[in-house]
């Protein structure tokens, strides 16, 4: 490791100086040289979401978590403690720079759960270094980012799993099989809803937390001062990067990719021909958070099926765009996220708490005679590890992940431009609208489109 020692000493003197560093154990103790010869996994980004994902790997007998990387001392220490508790006191190697972790030849696969603006840069390097990857959603800050990562995964033959874990839950698979086998008749419309972004957040510059390497955290994003809660929930403030356009699209993608992905899984034919998309959204005018707090987006697909996508409230004022009471009356009970398929002979609505159908007896059907059967997974991390072992696609592979992520980008672009757009899924471009196409490109210098 050419630069690991130099960089690690820099960490000791700098960003992590406020916290005690964990003990380092040689890779040979935990990696592929271990008697178990399990898949060696590195975790890049071990904040609350990353640690939650990491726990799913820690309890799988197919793998061993051998290395952690984060530029936050508190996150790194918490993750090391978690690994040590599960592994009977054994501690993984720790890294400040993801390039050093990825340069290790004994690591087979990585979990990437950084802030959104780092997803694609880290994943691209993982592909170049020959690592299979489980990538937290959403994918890139632009469609061009998504396309670049897809090309890299194909070129380097990498197994890819998107963090859309609803595909590994029984009720979502059941709902999509009902639709794809015509059990609600001819599909006519899909309704999708999720939690909107939050408004607010301080804009007053303050010193970054001592345990955070803030310049590295910013990375490709615009170089702006630290503000309370930007990177952490701290001092009574909640983190704002989720809802700031410098680092994310907001929950139109960060939450919305989950129910939109299920819409795609239930009706993949939406990508078979040109579609139109139109929308409108409400954006905060004050505070650190500036992504859509409410939206109303409509897709019309070439086969005549429509999709209606809305936000639900997340600390935002009540308004028509975040009012889903009409859908609640139609389906009986809905929570703040979900996907509903409506056909000529009935409907099915699914979320993380339930699946409901009309007529109700559809739930009692045995799928043994269905012509279309979807792959079965009961644990998203396990499915990824089995795909790595067997060299086969995971349940949400790169091609489908890019399509789901593109639906989020189309929703964001259409609602920002406020006009009807035509999208060509084969060319992955808008037809006759260069301003819209400009918003598909990578952000120069990290700057979001005006």
Looking at per-residue confidence, does 318 or 155 come out higher? 155
Angle between helices 143-156 and 119-128 (to 10 degrees): 20
pLDDT band at 446 (very low <50, low <70, confident <90, very high): low
Q: What is the rounded average pLDDT of the residues 407-413?
A: 98
* Sequence-ordered list of residues with C-beta below 8 angstroms from that of 215, at least 6 positions apart, any chain: none
Start-to-end Cα distance in the chain: 42
Q: Please, what is the Cα angle at 241 between 443 and 417, to 5 degrees? A: 50
Label residue 328 by pLDDT band (50, 70, 90).
very high
> Tell me, what DSSP letter sits at residue 291?
S
Neighbours of 10 (CB within 10 A): 15
Distance CA 57, CA 38 (A): 12
What are the backbone angles phi and psi of residue 407, rounded to the nearest 5°? -55, -35
pLDDT of 35 > 60? The answer is no
Average pLDDT of the residues in 29-38: 53
Q: Could you state, in order of their start, the residue ranges of all structural domains in the chain?
A: 4-166, 170-199+239-369+399-446
**Percentage of residues in the chain having pLDDT higher than 70:** 91
Could you tell me the pLDDT band of residue 95, with boundaries at 50, 70 and 90?
Answer: very high
Q: What is the pLDDT of residues 119-151, one digit of tens each?
A: 999 999 999 999 999 999 999 999 999 999 999
pLDDT category at 11 given cuts 50, 70, 90 is very low
pLDDT at 444: 79
Tokens 């389906």, residue located: 331
Q: What would the two tokens of residue 386 be?
A: 């089995």
Question: Given this model, what pLDDT does residue 89 score?
Answer: 95
CA dist., res. 245 & res. 450, Å (int): 11
C-alpha dist (Å) from residue 344 to 63, 144, 373: 46, 38, 22
Eight-state DSSP code of residue 374: P
pLDDT band at 236 (very low <50, low <70, confident <90, very high): confident
What average pLDDT score do residues 243-255 get? 98
Q: Residues 442, 145: contact at Cβ < 8 Å?
A: yes
Using the predicted structure, report yes or no on whether residue 27 has a pLDDT greater than 50. no
Distance, C-alpha 383 to centroid of its chain: 17
Length of the chain (residues): 450
**pLDDT at position 15 over 90:** no
Q: How many other CB atoms are there within 10 angstroms of residue 273's CB atom?
A: 12
Between helix 143-156 and helix 398-417 the angle, nearest 10°, is 170
pLDDT at 16 over 50: no
DSSP 212: B
Poorest-pLDDT segment among 144-148, 236-240, 270-274, 358-362: 236-240
- Confidence at 7, pLDDT banded by 50, 70, 90: very low
pLDDT in tens, 346-393: 999 999 999 999 999 999 999 998 999 999 999 999 999 999 999 999
Judge contact between 117 and 219, C-beta under 8 A. yes
Is 60 exceeded by the pLDDT of residue 18?
A: no
Residue 317 reports pLDDT greater than 70: yes
- What is the distance between the alpha carbons of residues 76 and 385, in angstroms, rounded to a whole number? 23
Return mean pLDDT, the chain. Answer: 92
Quick one: pLDDT band at residue 37, thresholds 50, 70, 90?
confident
- The CA distance from 261 to 252, in Å, is 13
Q: What is the pLDDT of residue 443?
A: 87
Position 448 scores a pLDDT of 67
67 DSSP assignment? E
Give burial (CB, 10 Å; 0-12/13-18/19+) of 99: middle
| Domain at 170-199+239-369+399-446, CATH class | alpha beta
Write phi, then psi, for 86 (nearest 5 degrees).
-75, -35
Give rounded-to-5 percent helix, strand, coil for the chain.
Answer: 40, 20, 45
Residues 6+ positions from 265 with CB-CB distance below 8 Å: 167, 172, 176, 374, 400
Residue 26 has pLDDT above 50, yes or no: no
Q: Read off the tokens for 52.
A: 């939650």
- Structural tokens at position 225: 């001062």
| CA 76 from centre of chain | 21
% of the chain at pLDDT higher than 90 = 87
**Residue 450: what pLDDT?**
60
* Domain boundaries 4-166, corresponding CATH code: 3.40.50.720
Give pLDDT, residue 110: 98
Closest CA to 297 of 279, 284, 283, 317: 279
How many Å apart are CA 68 and CA 266, to the nearest integer? 36
What pLDDT, on a 0 to 100 scale, did the predictor assign at position 380?
98
Say what the pTM is: 0.92
As given in the structure block, the two tokens for residue 183 are 């059990």
Q: State how far the alpha carbon of 200 is from the alpha carbons of 214, 284, 350, 447, in Å.
A: 22, 8, 31, 21
Answer yes or no: are the C-beta atoms of 90 and 22 closer than 8 Å.
Answer: no
CATH topology of 4-166 equal to that of 170-199+239-369+399-446?
Answer: no
pLDDT digits (tens, 9 = 90+) for 46-94: 999 999 999 999 999 999 999 999 999 999 999 999 999 999 999 999 9
């Amino acid at each position: 490791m050419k630069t690991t020692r130099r960089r690690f000493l820099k960490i000791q003197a700098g960003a992590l100086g406020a916290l005690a560093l964990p003990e380092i154990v040689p890779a040979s103790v935990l990696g592929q040289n271990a008697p178990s010869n399990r898949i060696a996994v590195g975790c890049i980004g071990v904040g609350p979401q990353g640690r939650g994902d990491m726990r799913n790997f820690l309890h799988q007998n197919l793998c061993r978590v051998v290395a952690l990387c984060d530029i936050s001392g508190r996150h790194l220490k918490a993750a090391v403690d978690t690994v040590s508790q599960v592994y009977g006191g054994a501690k993984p190697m720790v890294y400040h720079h993801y390039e050093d972790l990825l340069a290790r030849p004994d690591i087979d696969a990585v979990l990437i759960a950084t802030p959104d603006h780092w997803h694609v840069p880290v994943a691209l390097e993982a592909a170049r270094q020959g690592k299979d990857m489980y990538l937290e959603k959403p994918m890139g800050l632009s469609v061009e980012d998504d396309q670049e990562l897809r090309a890299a995964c194909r070129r380097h033959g990498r197994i890819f799993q998107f963090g859309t874990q609803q595909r590994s839950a029984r009720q979502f698979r059941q709902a999509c099989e009902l639709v794809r086998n015509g059990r609600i008749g001819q599909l006519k419309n899909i309704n999708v809803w999720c939690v909107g972004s939050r408004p607010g957040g301080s804009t007053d510059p303050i010193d970054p937390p001592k345990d955070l390497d803030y310049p590295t955290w910013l990375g490709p994003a615009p170089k702006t001062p630290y503000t309370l809660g930007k990177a952490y929930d701290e001092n009574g403030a909640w983190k704002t990067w989720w809802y700031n356009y410098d680092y994310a699209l907001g929950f139109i993608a960060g939450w919305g990719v989950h129910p939109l992905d299920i819409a795609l899984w239930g009706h993949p034919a939406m990508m078979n021909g040109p579609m139109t998309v139109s929308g409108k959204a409400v954006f905060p005018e004050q505070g650190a958070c500036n992504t859509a707090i409410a939206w109303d987006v409509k897709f019309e697909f070439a086969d005549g099926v429509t999709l209606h996508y809305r936000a639900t409230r997340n600390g935002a004022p009540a308004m028509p765009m975040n009012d889903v009471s009409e859908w609640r009356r139609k389906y009986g009970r809905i929570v703040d996220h979900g996907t509903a398929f409506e056909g000529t002979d009935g409907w099915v609505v699914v979320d993380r708490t339930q699946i409901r159908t009309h007529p109700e007896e559809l739930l009692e059907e045995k799928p043994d005679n269905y012509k279309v059967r979807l792959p079965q997974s009961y644990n998203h991390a396990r499915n990824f590890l089995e795909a790595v072992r067997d060299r086969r696609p995971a349940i949400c592979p790169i091609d489908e992940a890019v399509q789901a992520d593109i639906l989020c980008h189309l929703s964001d672009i259409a609602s920002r431009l406020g006009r009807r757009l035509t999208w060509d899924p084969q060319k992955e471009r808008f037809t006759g609208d260069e301003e819209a196409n400009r918003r598909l490109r990578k952000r120069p210098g990290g700057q979001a489109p005006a």
